Structure 1
Amino acid sequence: MVTMLGGVRGRTRWLLALLLLAVAGALIALALSWRPAIAPIAPPAPGSFAPEQVARGAMLAKLGDCAVCHTREGGRPLAGGRPLATPFGTLYSDNLTPDPETGIGNWSAAAFRRAMQDGVSRSGAHLYPALPYEHFTHVRDADLDALYAFLMTRRPVREAAPANRLIFPLGFRPLLAGWKLLFLHHGETPVDPMRSSEWNRGAYLVEGLGHCGGCHTPRNLAGGEIRSQAYAGGIAEGWRAPPLDTSNPAARTWTQEALVTYLRTGISPDHSAAAGPMGPVVESLSQVPEGEVRAIAAYIVSRMGGSPAAPIPPLPDHADAAARAFPEGAVLFAGACAGCHGPGAPMLGQGRPLLSLATVLRDTDPTSAAQAVLQGIEPPIAGRGPKMPGFADTLTDRQVAAVLGYLRARYTDQPDWKKLSAAVAKARKEGAQP
């Protein structure tokens, strides 16, 4: 009996010790994650900002696509509330107008810089990395101050964002402090003295405010960018963001001129047309000085490598073999697609890319090809450029897969995509998310 009681007391002491260690660890973690609030200010008068600083901030806001994420469908610009689907649940973007109750009207410039560089709100709460502060942390203070000046001179809109809907326990914001220890890397983008000023400007914009890697870099299970695979391709809003490195699947090598045209108009006749999340990016970049876009293009093209002087291979068109391999796809193409994409179609030869040049058909991942068929393509700039209706309501997953299999076999020399019907079903589901 004495032995048994002694054993019970021993186990109890061990359990109490473990409990105390757990509590101590939790308290230490909370202490490490704590950030102080920054005192609120009275909303500054719009006239207190220099006009040239506000104008520069407006341009930087376009380069950063601020309004794209911070404007809900049918909502006021920058008033937030747009749902952002993630693997961890749905986040809603914040109100960036200078409303003191629901926006950032009582934020100082220092509070704004901390949010952009450290992912911490004025109140001290950690922000979710849907705000890509792992890129914005590389933006210089002067540019952040200009962006702040632009936002604080917008019309205030009183509109609170809906509550986030995240899987448990990710709604507990102090956990984000651990995420930042792993994935938030401070410091300006290094200047390469061996490169031109244009290239270095492009590196600063792409790695910082442009946050291109946020979509074009794969992410790990924790949602952090895999830095060793920078620009190797990623997923954005259910679409595949293609690689911007040497694995880019374009049929013809991108040149700076071709990429400038694409980024400012949404179309490159020798490559592809902008679709999905890339459309709003093009719409924004069409409104900034061309020199900024040329700098972005110079940097990205250098990452993709290749020699523009390389021989251009003949464009494939294996119509007979593709029809034998995918007879249903051939019939569907003839009925639904050939009027615009078939030989002799009126749309061909008018600056629109041929299907044999379409990057989505050459990619190793069929996601964007599936989304283009399901959702269609809208011209990103005032109705200019190619337009394609979506077939989500008229074609089944099996039929879309048949068309895609046929297109891949006919217009590329790449191997067939595997499990296409499942990929189409997944794309349809993700395309329907908020």
Structure 2
Amino acid sequence: MTRKSRLLAAGGVVIVAALIVVALLMWKPAIAPVSPPAAASFDAQTKLAGARVVALGDCIVCHTAKGGKPFAGGLPLATPFGTIYATNLTPDVETGIGNWSLEAFTRAVRHGVSRDGHLLYPAFPYIHFTRMSDGDISAAYAYLLTREPVNATAPANDLIFPLNFRPLLAFWNILFLHPGERAADASKDAKWNRGKLLVDSLGHCASCHSPLNAIGGEKSGHAFDGGIVDGWEAPPLNALGAAPKPWTQEQLVTYLRSGRASEHGAAAGPMLPVTRDLATVPEEDVQAIATYILSIQKAQPAVMNVVAESAGQADPSPAAQRGAILFGASCAQCHGPAAPMQSIGERPTLAFSTAVNATTPRNAAQMILSGNGWHGEDRMNYMPAFSEIYSDQQIADLVSYIRASYSQRGAWKDVEETVATVRKENNAR
């Protein structure tokens, strides 16, 4: 055999070996379906524990479409790569997980693989859920398998090529999926370790509150630096100490359980339903979450504290002057210094708002465009939407006025462009 022939043969062997490795990475066997377990086969204590686990994981938030049945899926999840639709978690045999065994459910949670063997998209945060304990996974399984079955098929995902080719997720998993529970930090107390476990696994907080890299993975070294979710900025969780009024343990616990905190403001957008779930779990869980989050604060550039009396300072820019007129017409009744909502209702001034003091105008624009919907008798915060009332220019003027009048941070740039972008994104959903 000539040298050239030997090289070609060796090259062929390498190619075949590579193809075999690729095939092994991409191929996952199906797990046989089972007869739906009877609801009576799960004891009450396990189902109760499961309700706690599912609430901490915010499962109902992503797996319930607007106006749909709980856990029946169909909610569109916007990503930089297209739209993914949440799947059906009810015990319906045809369209849900009714014929899934605990083994199949555990594999999906820990490894992102469906019962039939296809790979799940990481919009389902299995890279965090993989750290869940066996007990928590079993409890969640018991709770979900005893919900009302709903026959509902999620719409087909709409992703750009080649990300719509699921087998490529095998390579993504090599980079970002690191299965297995994490050992407790012996140098920390039980409350801190419980909080870290909840934040890193069930709560999957980094999924929303971290920037993503070019292939949709959480950017290395930037955990909790802030991200974008459904058109809203998820603020950095490691900068709470740099707020105009640094967050306290009590304020953070109150915010996570009620959606509102004194001297900070109210939850809105994707965070609002999260606070509803956290209101149903034992307070000790939320105390642990707050303890851990407040322990990861980074040093930030010093920012002078803002006081309520700073509101209404004159700003010479034409945009802010036009915004002042709009504020007086539509906002001052609730947000002006003498508004009953503040003087009687003890609502915080906009000077302490996370959105008003953010590095970009996105959330301030989003709040004015989208508002905070009416929730009937729920004790949630209501604000009307102004997207149908004001133009992009008018909302940009209003945003500029609020920033100038209530924050001691510099003026935002490209405000009108941000408003137009947010409106376009909202209309596309």
Q: TM-score when scaled to structure 1?
A: 0.91
Aligned match of 1:84: 77
CA contact (8 A) 2:370 2:387 kept: yes
Aligned match of 1:367: 362
C-alpha displacement of 1:409: 0.9
1: CA distance, partners of 2:14 / 2:231: 43
1: CA distance, partners of 2:337 / 2:140: 49
Aligned match of 2:165: 172
C-alpha displacement of 1:246: 3.2
**Distance 1:255-1:34 versus aligned 2 partners, 3 A rule:** same
Letter in 2 for 1:232: D
Of the three residues 113, 120, 139, the one matched with 2:132 is: 139
**Distance 1:251-1:236 versus aligned 2 partners, 3 A rule:** same
Letter in 1 for 2:135: A
Aligned length: 420
Aligned match of 1:420: 415
CA contact (8 A) 2:26 2:167 kept: yes
CA contact (8 A) 1:232 1:247 kept: no
Aligned match of 1:344: 338
Aligned match of 1:277: 270
Aligned match of 2:237: 244
SS of aligned partner of 2:34: coil
2:106 equivalent to 1:113: yes
2: CA distance, partners of 1:382 / 1:200: 36
Calculate percent identity across the aligned residue pairs. 49
2: CA distance, partners of 1:365 / 1:27: 48
Gaps of 5+ in 1: 1-9
Aligned match of 1:353: 348
Deviations along 1:289-321, one digit per CA (max 9) or x if unpaired, are: 1111111111112223689xx996644625343
SS of aligned partner of 2:175: helix
2:401 equivalent to 1:406: yes
Deviations along 1:204-240, one digit per CA (max 9) or x if unpaired, are: 1111011111110111111101130110000111100
**Distance 1:338-1:29 versus aligned 2 partners, 3 A rule:** same
**Distance 1:17-1:369 versus aligned 2 partners, 3 A rule:** farther
Deviations along 1:53-86, one digit per CA (max 9) or x if unpaired, are: 1110011111111111111112111111111111
Aligned match of 2:281: 288
C-alpha displacement of 1:385: 4.0
C-alpha displacement of 1:271: 0.7
C-alpha displacement of 1:120: 0.4
**Distance 1:386-1:153 versus aligned 2 partners, 3 A rule:** closer
Deviations along 1:361-391, one digit per CA (max 9) or x if unpaired, are: 1110211111100000236794324311111
Of the three residues 255, 272, 276, the one matched with 1:262 is: 255
Of the three residues 275, 291, 295, the one matched with 1:298 is: 291
Of the three residues 381, 387, 391, the one matched with 2:382 is: 387
C-alpha displacement of 1:351: 2.7
SS of aligned partner of 1:95: coil
**Distance 1:118-1:356 versus aligned 2 partners, 3 A rule:** same
Q: Does 123-132 or 331-340 show the bigger shift? A: 331-340
CA contact (8 A) 1:96 1:151 kept: yes
Q: Does 358-367 or 179-188 show the bigger shift? A: 179-188
SS of aligned partner of 2:266: coil
Deviations along 1:275-299, one digit per CA (max 9) or x if unpaired, are: 0011100111111111111111111
CA contact (8 A) 1:218 1:225 kept: yes
Q: TM-score when scaled to structure 2?
A: 0.92
Gaps of 5+ in 2: none
CA RMSD of aligned residues (A): 2.5
Of the three residues 155, 160, 163, the one matched with 2:153 is: 160
C-alpha displacement of 1:431: 2.3
2: CA distance, partners of 1:289 / 1:75: 27
Q: Does 371-380 or 344-353 show the bigger shift? A: 371-380
SS of aligned partner of 1:264: helix
2: CA distance, partners of 1:297 / 1:381: 29
C-alpha displacement of 1:165: 1.1
C-alpha displacement of 1:250: 2.2
1: CA distance, partners of 2:183 / 2:308: 40
**Distance 1:20-1:429 versus aligned 2 partners, 3 A rule:** farther
